[in-house]
Amino acid sequence: MREISRESNTLELIASENFVSYPVLEMAGGVMTNKYAEGYPGARYYGGCEHVDEAENLARERAKKLFNCEYANVQPHSGSQANMAALMTFVNVGDTIMGLDLAHGGHLTHGSPVNFSGKLYNVVSYHVSKDTGRVNFDEVQKLAKEHKPKLIICGGSAYPRFIEFEQFHEIASENGAYLMADIAHPAGLVATGIHPSPMSYCDVITTTTHKTLRGPRGGMIMLGKDVENPWNIKAPKSGRIKMVSELLNSMVMPGIQGGPLMHIIAAKAVAFGEALKPEFNSYAQQIVNNAKAMANKLLTRDYKLVSGGTDTHVILIDLTNKGVSGKAAENALERAGITVNKNMVPFDQRSPFITSGIRVGTPAITTRGMAENEMNQIVDKIDQVISDIDNDITINRVKMEVKSLCESFPLYRELHD
């Protein structure tokens, strides 16, 4: 109950978090957690899988409809595992890959040296431009031409703008590289057509199922179009694997996972069903409207935003001109009932444990029903805390105001009743 109270009485502004619906919550905590189901529907290694097969088939079909793709694997436990399976399918250990530098908005699994991706592959990182905060495509082209990567990753965890799939596709094609899109953050916006789709540009697409998609925590792999196995890889017993989808399936299980989490897969099916409803389109648009409203209000308060604003749900704030570190801002805001995360900004002079920025996002507060008027109020509260960061009186006053605002937009009435 303490976690319910925390979520109910604070403003959740972490861009990678959201609140699932009560039906998704019920399914994620349901009896399918008891069932082992190694393998795939119709070809399990365990008996008694007839009902979990239904759930997984439903999740896959709904995902394909939602994203207009030919293939979806809903078994990855996380976005990181989806990325691992995709990378291990398309490239060999030691091959060269390219991804957005973690400090410039990328993700750990895009080549960070502390991650499997940085340990298994030869990584060449590209960056954003200092003056625009957007991907430096002159650099991407130059690096691709020089290093001839086998695969290029586009997407990130702190990139406020639309992912430029078409430009990445042109560079990948010119240099003979596969293109992998990680749409973990904007997946809900992609599904509703608010964000451009990668399906016609990328060889493989990965995502999480939470964040803007508002499902349970998990991962997924998709193919816009399934194609024949270009590597002529053979399975030990069954002979040649004909399609890339088969390679991906075998890399997920038994390649990197055993039994999938059937309660989470069933919850994914519920969430995808919700995302297929017309009201989810309105919700996704409100996420972006709220982020833009918040960004505009922050600019009027002299906050520096990486790239100057946002196209999506993410806002990356550089606090250098405020004389406050990201860590200090995160801690003070949390004391005031506002949850954000410290985040490095491009060309940051501080360490990843301190940072010069914070990342904020609007999915969770939009789920609660908040709109542009509340965004202005929230920015006011953020500014009050950061401008008076060592004043406990200010922080405690803002905390009471936050609690009052949250009470006007209640969360999970079912759990309180």
Domain ranges of the chain: 2-20+281-416, 35-275
Predicted confidence (pLDDT) at residue 233 exceeds the cutoff of 80: no
Q: What's the sign of the alpha-carbon dihedral 347, 353, 357, 358?
A: positive
Tell me which architecture the domain covering 2-20+281-416 has in CATH. Answer: Alpha-Beta Complex (3.90)
Q: Do domains 2-20+281-416 and 35-275 have the same CATH topology?
A: no
- What's the confidence (pLDDT) of residue 230? 81
Residue 176 confidence class, pLDDT cut points 50, 70, 90: very high
Confidence tier at 239 by pLDDT (50, 70, 90):
low
Which among 364, 348, 354 has a CA at the least distance from the CA of 329?
354
Catalytic residue numbers read 36, 38, 182, 208, 211, 217
Task: Provide the pLDDT confidence category of residue 299 given band limits of 50, 70 and 90.
Answer: very high
The per-residue pLDDT for 417 is 54
How far is 411 from 376, CA to CA, in rounded Å?
21
Per-residue confidence (pLDDT) for residue 238, from 0 to 100: 58
Which two tokens mark 56?
A: 């997984």
Res 32 pLDDT > 90: yes
What does the block give as tokens for 361? 């996002």
Read off the pLDDT of each residue in 193-202 and give the average, rounded to a whole number.
97
Model pTM score: 0.94
Q: Which of the residue ranges 44-53, 126-135, 225-234, 249-258 would you say has the lowest mean pLDDT?
A: 225-234
Q: How many CB atoms lie within 10 A of CB 45?
A: 13
Per-residue model confidence as pLDDT tens digits over 332-354: 999 999 999 999 999 999 999 99
What sign has the CA pseudo-torsion 194, 135, 12, 273?
positive
Average pLDDT over residues 230-234: 70
Separation between Cα atoms, residue 323 and residue 312, nearest integer Å: 27
| Alpha carbon distance, N-terminus to C-terminus of the chain | 13
Sheet bearing 178-182, strands edge to edge: 71-73, 219-223, 204-208, 178-182, 151-154, 96-100, 122-126
Q: How confident is the model at residue 235 (pLDDT cuts 50, 70, 90)?
A: low
Average pLDDT over residues 159-174: 98
pLDDT above 60 for 148 = yes
Percentage of residues in the chain having pLDDT higher than 90: 94
pLDDT band at 236 (very low <50, low <70, confident <90, very high): low
Q: How confident is the model at residue 242 (pLDDT cuts 50, 70, 90)?
A: confident
**The predicted structure's pLDDT at residue 415:** 63
**What pLDDT, on a 0 to 100 scale, did the predictor assign at position 413?**
72
- Nearest Cα to Cα of residue 18 among 284, 263, 374, 205: 284
The full DSSP string for 329-380 is HHHHHHHTTEE-EEE--TT-SS-TTT-SEEEEE-HHHHHTT--HHHHHHHHH
- Position 414 pLDDT exceeds 80: no
Mean pLDDT, residues 182-201 taken together? 98
Tens of pLDDT, residue by residue over 301-324, are 999 999 999 999 999 999 999 999
| Domain 35-275 = CATH 3.90.1150.10 | no
Each residue of 54-65: pLDDT tens digit? 999 999 999 999
Alpha-helical segments (H) within 10-75: 22-28, 50-67
Give the pLDDT confidence score for residue 44 in this predicted structure. Answer: 95
